[in-house]
Amino acid sequence: MSAELLDSQLDSLDAYWKGRGYEPRFALVGHSLGGLVAVFGMDHPSVKAVVALDSPLMGVGSGKARWLDFLLADLGGCPAPALGQLARMEADPTWPQTLQGSVASFQARGGRIATLGNEQDCYYDPPNCPHLCVWFGFVGCLFFVPEADTQVVPNADVPWLYKLGNGGSYGHDLILYHADAVALVAAFVATP
């Protein structure tokens, strides 16, 4: 999904509910690239809450950015709109400041944002997951430095990193099953 498609779907839902006499309030929850797309949806006036889980909000870091460039070049372009958005973010050195400004504007109009991550997520700290070292080789494994801080926007209402442990091939999904994270997301979304 892309930010443009999400915005179009939000417009349709907004019109549908307003046509029935309701004032819609949307909460967007996304994991990984879905969390990044959810953050791009903050600009929609009916979005009141956003939750991003293990998402590359502040970029993917220089090591993975090189792999992303290689992947996109090898595929002859972008196979998914969200990857293209991520590539454009990586090319923009002002992105962290832009995102923090967008979060501040969202909060100023009453929106709330939670950014939750797993500091031992395989995508953010590949040496935690030995199978990635096998795929990329020892040198490739060392090439990826821990980048857990890229999952959190410092001025978010909830900017938390969890230490969830090595999840093997499921390390990127651990936050979806972590009881504390699930309870926090449910309470965050349910709060008016």
What CATH number has the domain bearing residue 114? Answer: 3.40.50
Q: Give the span between the Cα atoms of 52 and 37, in whole angstroms.
A: 9
Are 26 and 10 in contact by the 8 Å Cβ rule? The answer is yes
Confidence of residue 89 (pLDDT cuts 50, 70, 90): confident
pTM: 0.81
Confidence of residue 127 (pLDDT cuts 50, 70, 90): low
Are 60 and 32 in contact by the 8 Å Cβ rule? The answer is no
> Does the pLDDT value for residue 170 go beyond 60?
no
Instruction: Give residue-wise pLDDT tens across range 17-30.
Output: 999 999 999 999 99
Contact partners, residue 63, CB within 8 Å, separation at least 6: 143, 144, 145, 147
Q: Give the span between the Cα atoms of 33 and 43, in whole angstroms.
A: 17
State which residues form the domain around 51.
3-190
Q: Element (H or E) spanning 114, and its range?
A: strand 112-118
Q: Give the span between the Cα atoms of 40 and 98, in whole angstroms.
A: 12
How many domains, in total, are found in the chain?
A: 1
Instruction: Give residue-wise pLDDT tens across range 93-114.
Output: 888 899 999 999 999 999 999 9
